[in-house]
Structure formats: structure tokens, C-alpha cells
A = this chain, B = another copy of it.
Amino acid sequence: MSRKVVVVGGGPAAVISAATAKKHYPDVEVTLIRKFDPAVIPCGIPYIFSRLDSADKDIMGDAPLKSLGVNIVVDEVVDVDRENKVVITKSGAKYEYDKLILATGSVAVKPNIPGIDLKGIYVIEKNIEFLRMIREEVLKAKKIVIVGGGFIGVEIADDVIRLGDKEVSIVEMLPHCLQLAFDEEFCIAAEEELKKLGVKLYTNCLVTKFEGKDRVENVILSTGEELPADLVIVSVGSKPNAELAKKIGLEIGKFGGIIVDEYMRTSDKDIFAVGDCVERKSFFTGAPTRTMLASISTAEARIAGLNLFDLKVTKLAKGTIGIFSTKVGNLTLGVAGLTESMAKAEGYDVVVGVAEAPNRHPAALEGAQKIKVKLIFSKESMTLIGGVVMGPESVGEIINMIGVMMQNQQTAVEIMFMQIGTHPLVTAAPTVYPVLLAAEDVIRKLEKAKS
């Protein structure tokens, strides 16, 4: 009888752990049990309003899983009999497993604000029925208030305002949008793009109350301002969805995520956990971190999938760096590791280099846009611990290159002398390639300090 793997969940972590298991253990029977059908692409959700003309365009197809021979079951897992290694679903079905992978994801936080239960106020749910509904609601609405100026709030605002007939506002309690991810100068640049699009920003203030009879009509801010609203989207963060793990007695961390080892094994060696339901550790300090990202989830899923029945490879889960990118208006922003302010808050003694250059050479070429790079190094070891970039679309891959440098713990000297490739129509010039020049800036600052 063939060995059995059951995966609980439908998001990227679930899909990739099922696919990786089946690719590397072709004889194993892999069953993925998910609550919703069809599955959606979580990162694409902010774009279902105007960039996509239907929520159904954000569906994650099952063809890759099916072609690998993964069984897909639509049901809700309600319990696990760990002793007999059986998963129990809401419909009463039972699935035996040799290895179980929990990929139950995260849920949006619903803050305790008076009036939050009024009609017309939504937190984002990652399922197709909700997305179809919220798209219709947004299309009908005129005055839309978004509570929370993190990635999701900013991206939804950027997409919804493009519908052309809406007033869109963001309310953010910190001094700037995206401030948990970027240093101030980058947040300000992103805010400028939002303003150019016509989004109104209310930063440094809280929502104290939602008002309305049956349905929301007004959003009351801590500044005393009142924002009329016929639809509110609340995006103030997410928390690990570890309910099932908790119920079955797995160890849970201080941020509410499932505790796992280097191989994504929980306190039960036959149960793995991957994705946003996991308690992650920082690559830099080793401390627990709240970072949630589909790209980390899929990396974890690959580790679990490859090491299910035997630990094939070592030293993989080195901790979470956190590499984010986003696009606001015409500006792409990326961040990897610690920003300058995060690093200082964490207690690092840092030295920071900056450089700017256009992504064309000569800059007279069509499509030229400035790239700004900031690199943060630990002063004594001179290793790269943070990178922030903004500019054209290629920033999405520049930040990945910086992430690779970071995972290799490269120093400023090594980065200054990296070999790179350049081309007039697609990158900065070799003479001013800003990642190398930001590293050189750091070396020069230290030379000056010594002399």
C-alpha cells in the first residue's frame, strides 16, 4: 500500500507542498483538502477591481496539481486523530495519512472599533465567493474608505481609484503609509504616487467609530474629522490561522503561529506546517517575526515537500528575511531584510549607503526612470542586512538580487566588485549601477570616518 500525504489548505503553501511532495516522491498518494473551490491567488486580490475585469480572473487553476496526480478534495478539516493518523472533515469523511501538512494560512484581523459590524464594512477574505461579492459592492459604491495603509490597503486604493468614479481615502494610524515596511523617504514617494492618482490620505490618525443606521455612512477619525462612506475595507493586518493546530495540541508560538523546526515539522514529527500559519524566525536575530509572505510560504512548502519522508538536505530554513515588492502608481518599491529604521530599532550598529541612477543608458532613451537604492550594512561585520529600492518595474527583480546577496551574507566590498550585466534598453549603466555604488558609498563613508 502506498504512503499517504494529506495537505490541509488551498493557498500557495498548500499547493506547493502538495506539488513538491508529488514531484519528489512520485509513488506517494497526495490529497489536498481545501475549504473553498476554486482557489484564488491571494496576492492578486487587490487587482480584481480595475486591472482584472472579473474576480474569476484571479482564480488559481488546478491543472498543475492535477497533472501531477494530486487528489483535490473540497471540504473542511475539523479534527485530526493524531494517534491513528486520520484527518476528519466537516462532511464526516476520514483521510488516513503517513505525513500531514498544515497550510491553513492567515486570517485578516477585525479590529474592535465601535460600529464595525455595520453593513458595508468588510475585512478581506481569501475565497472566490467573497471576492465576487466585494467586487460588485465596490463597483456600486462611490465613497470608499480604506482603514489601514499597509500593502493591502495601498494596493486596493491604487486599483479602486482607477475605476474613475470613486472617492477613495486611506486612514493610517502611523505617520506614513507602508511605514512598517519602508523607511520614511520611500513611504513619502509612495504617498506622492497615491496622491497623484487622487487617493486622499489621513495618516497619523485612528478610526474611533463607524456610524450609520443599518449600513455604514460615516467614518469618524481621532482628529475629529468625519469621512462619509458607503463602503469600508478594513486592512489592518493578519494573524496566523492556527485554530486546527491548537485544537489538536500542537505547540503554538507567542505570535500565535505553529512552532516548527528547520524542516517545517511541528511538535508532532509526522505533522508539518508551512505558510502563514507558522511562527517564523528572523534571519537576522533569530527572534519570532510576524512577516507574512507568499514567497516565504512557498519556500517553506518546498522544504516540507522535499523532506517529508527523509531529511534529504540540511540547513535550509535559515530564518525569514522578508522580501517585499509593491507597485504604487508608476513607482515600484522593494525591500529585503531590515530597513534602516528597523535595524536601528533592533539595536544594530549600521552604516547606510545610497545611490541613484536611471534604468537606461543614455538616459535619453524612452522609458527612462530613476532607480534609488539604499543598502544597510552591519558596521563591524560589514555584511548586508537590508536593502530598499524604488523606481521602474525591474525593481521587483533588483530586490531579489539584493535578497540573494543577503542570504549569502555578502559584504560591502564583495558587492562593490560584483560582476553584473547591463544593457542600454533595460538596466542602469555599468558605470553607475546603483546596487554597486550604494556599497561603494558605504566603503567610502567608513574610509572617511577612519581618516
Roughly how many angstroms separate A16 CA and B46 CA in the complex, as a whole number? 44
Residue among A15, A59, A400, A413 with the highest chain B CB neighbour number at 10 A: A400
B residues less than 8 Å from A430 (CB atoms): 12, 43, 293-295, 297-298
Q: Is A403 an interface residue (CB 8 A)?
A: yes
Say whether, besides A302-B416, A424-B44, A393 and B394 are in contact (CB < 8 Å).
Answer: yes
Q: Is A67 an interface residue (CB 8 A)?
A: no
Q: A362 contacts which of B58, B294, B398, B418 (Cβ < 8 Å)?
A: B58
Say whether, besides A302-B440, A324-B421, A397 and B427 are in contact (CB < 8 Å).
Answer: yes
- Please report the total number of A residues contacting B with Cβ < 8 Å: 81
Residue among A46, A326, A401, A421 with the highest chain B CB neighbour number at 10 A: A421
Q: Is A2 an interface residue (CB 8 A)?
A: no
User: What is the CB-to-nearest-CB distance from A253 to chain B, in angstroms, rounded to a whole number?
Assistant: 20
Contact present for B24 and A426 (CB under 8 Å) = no
Per-residue interface assignment for chain A, residues 24 to 45, with 1 indicating a CB less than 8 Å from any chain B CB and 0 otherwise: 1000000000000000010110
Per-residue interface assignment for chain A, residues 393 to 421, with 1 indicating a CB less than 8 Å from any chain B CB and 0 otherwise: 11111111101110110100100111111
Q: Is A425 an interface residue (CB 8 A)?
A: yes
User: What is the CB-to-nearest-CB distance from A70 to chain B, in angstroms, rounded to a whole number?
Assistant: 13
Report which A residues bind B (CB closer than 8 A): 12, 15-16, 20, 23-24, 41, 43-44, 46-47, 51-52, 57-60, 293-299, 302-303, 306, 313, 316, 320-321, 323-327, 332, 334, 336, 361-362, 364-366, 393-401, 403-405, 407-408, 410, 413, 416-427, 429-431, 433, 436, 440, 443-444, 447
Having A47-B425, A396-B423, one finds 19 other A-B pairs with CB under 8 Å, namely A24-B447, A43-B424, A46-B424, A51-B366, A58-B362, A58-B364, A60-B431, A295-B419, A295-B422, A298-B430, A298-B431, A299-B419, A302-B417, A334-B421, A394-B397, A397-B397, A398-B400, A404-B418, A408-B408
Roughly how many angstroms separate A46 CA and B316 CA in the complex, as a whole number? 45
Residue among A364, A404, A436, A440 with the highest chain B CB neighbour number at 10 A: A404
Chain B: which residue is nearest A432 at the CB level?
A: B64
Q: A431 contacts which of B15, B58, B59 (Cβ < 8 Å)?
A: B15
**Top 3 A-B residue pairs of the complex, sorted by shortest distance between their CB atoms:** A323-B421, A396-B426, A397-B397
Say whether, besides A366-B51, A397-B427, A417 and B41 are in contact (CB < 8 Å).
Answer: no
Contact present for B23 and A440 (CB under 8 Å) = yes
Roughly how many angstroms separate A41 CA and B436 CA in the complex, as a whole number? 19
Roughly how many angstroms separate A420 CA and B407 CA in the complex, as a whole number? 10
User: What is the CB-to-nearest-CB distance from A152 to chain B, in angstroms, rounded to a whole number?
Assistant: 12
Contact present for A361 and B16 (CB under 8 Å) = no
Contact present for B15 and A427 (CB under 8 Å) = no
User: What is the CB-to-nearest-CB distance from A334 to chain B, in angstroms, rounded to a whole number?
Assistant: 6
User: What is the CB-to-nearest-CB distance from A353 to chain B, in angstroms, rounded to a whole number?
Assistant: 12
Q: Determine how many copies of this chain the complex contains.
A: 2
Roughly how many angstroms separate A269 CA and B27 CA in the complex, as a whole number? 64
Contact present for A362 and B52 (CB under 8 Å) = yes
User: What is the CB-to-nearest-CB distance from A424 to chain B, in angstroms, rounded to a whole number?
Assistant: 5
Q: A51 contacts which of B320, B365, B443 (Cβ < 8 Å)?
A: B365
User: What is the CB-to-nearest-CB distance from A438 to chain B, in angstroms, rounded to a whole number?
Assistant: 13
B residues less than 8 Å from A313 (CB atoms): 413, 417
B residues less than 8 Å from A400 (CB atoms): 397-398, 401, 420-421, 427
Contact present for A323 and B420 (CB under 8 Å) = yes
B residues less than 8 Å from A336 (CB atoms): 421
Q: A427 contacts which of B302, B325, B408 (Cβ < 8 Å)?
A: B325
B residues less than 8 Å from A362 (CB atoms): 41, 44, 52, 57-60
User: What is the CB-to-nearest-CB distance from A261 to chain B, in angstroms, rounded to a whole number?
Assistant: 15
Contact present for A426 and B298 (CB under 8 Å) = no
Contact present for B420 and A403 (CB under 8 Å) = yes
Roughly how many angstroms separate A336 CA and B410 CA in the complex, as a whole number? 19
Roughly how many angstroms separate A48 CA and B24 CA in the complex, as a whole number? 51
B residues less than 8 Å from A324 (CB atoms): 421, 423
Contact present for B408 and A401 (CB under 8 Å) = no
User: What is the CB-to-nearest-CB distance from A407 to chain B, in angstroms, rounded to a whole number?
Assistant: 6
User: What is the CB-to-nearest-CB distance from A390 to chain B, in angstroms, rounded to a whole number?
Assistant: 12
